[in-house]
Amino acid sequence: MPPDPPPAALRLEIDGDALAANWRGLDALSGEARAGAAVKANAYGLGARRVVERLANEGCRDFFVAHWGEAGDLLGVVEPASIAVLHGPMTDRDCAYARATGVRPVINSLAQARRWTAAGGGACDLMIDTGMNRLGLAASEIGDEAVGALDIEVLHSHLASADEDVPLNDLQQRRWAQARVHVPHRRAALANSAGIVLGERFHGELTRPGIALYGGVPCVALSGAIRQVARPAAAVIQVREIEAGEGVGYNTVFVAPRAMRIGTIAVGYADGYLRCWSNRGEMRSRDGTVPVIGRVSMDMTIVDLSDAPTVGEGDWLEIAYNLPRAAASSGLSQYELLTLLGSRFAR
């Protein structure tokens, strides 16, 4: 057997204490409701098994994924009944899987409701659409006999613009409240991360924070309350000296204005560090901040080490990745910044 490969030249340090503190803070802001956790997309790229295990230890009891395969990855970490699959049972095979494992499907349509009941049914969640027009039953459908046949654990809806002060928030809350009157259920959930701070009317018995768990700040009301969780870093793989007038990287979009000491680090757009960071991104070293120069390429990025004299080949640089600030600088959303980070990062 060949030996294990050497460690990656990329790593993603995940601050478990910050993750736990973010969940506790969001749980407290949820008032009488209990905070769950959206852990879809591999917990926004940070590693779902690790995240779920830590949050479960903190007291989180509800976890939301998008795909059935994501639910399977969490079996054995938490009780299956604590996992809900947001896309619902699209096929008979999905129904069979849910019934065999105990994972809860989220029903999004009358067709899914009938499919689930025909397969034998059991506890499920129900999503209703209150104005986002993405997933969920229309208000005109909630009185259908297929809905009446369901054993509904959580009645969901999803806010379209919780991060903005817009009339749609109150409209969606009213529609959700009306559905709660007409659809039998044990618990109800509406608020995502930003929705939590809209107040008690939006809480129900369960909230579904996502981005704020992982260090994102989706609205001003959460500024100062959320800690950074993800800190990507990359190794320096070469250092060189260049003269004034020399170009750097593809298409020489950076030309040295003076003699410079530069370094090439092992991260590029194949890892989710996109070309929008060209001549814009920053790294952190023991000597301070070092700027990205030139165009980001597939596997490598070049930085100016002129003011970082102690940094050499084999050293690590932390990629500046405070999510609100990085989003403002790059033009990417905080969600994209996390979920783009690729599999070559050792987590």
44: left (phi over 0), alpha (psi -120 to 50) or beta: left
294: left (phi over 0), alpha (psi -120 to 50) or beta: left
H or E element that contains 170:
helix 167-182
What is residue 128's DSSP assignment?
A: B
Tokens of 243: 């003269």
Whether residue 244 contacts residue 257, with contact meaning beta carbons closer than 8 Å, is answered with yes
Report residue 251 CA to chain centroid gap: 34
Of 40, 44, 97, 335, the catalytic one is 40
Whether residue 66 contacts residue 210, with contact meaning beta carbons closer than 8 Å, is answered with no
Between CA 293 and CA 254 the distance in angstroms is: 6
- Annotation says 250 is catalytic: yes
Whether residue 11 contacts residue 319, with contact meaning beta carbons closer than 8 Å, is answered with no
H or E element that contains 118:
helix 110-118
Tokens of 130: 């209150």
What is residue 257's DSSP assignment?
A: S
- Annotation says 40 is catalytic: yes
Computed from CA positions of residues 214, 215, 218, 220, in that sequence, does the dihedral angle turn out positive or negative?
A: positive
Rg of the chain (C-alpha set): 23
Of 97, 214, 250, 335, the catalytic one is 250
CA distance between the termini of the chain: 25
Residue 236: helix, strand or coil by DSSP? Answer: strand
Q: Furthest-apart CA pair in the chain: how many Å? A: 77
Active site residues: 40, 250
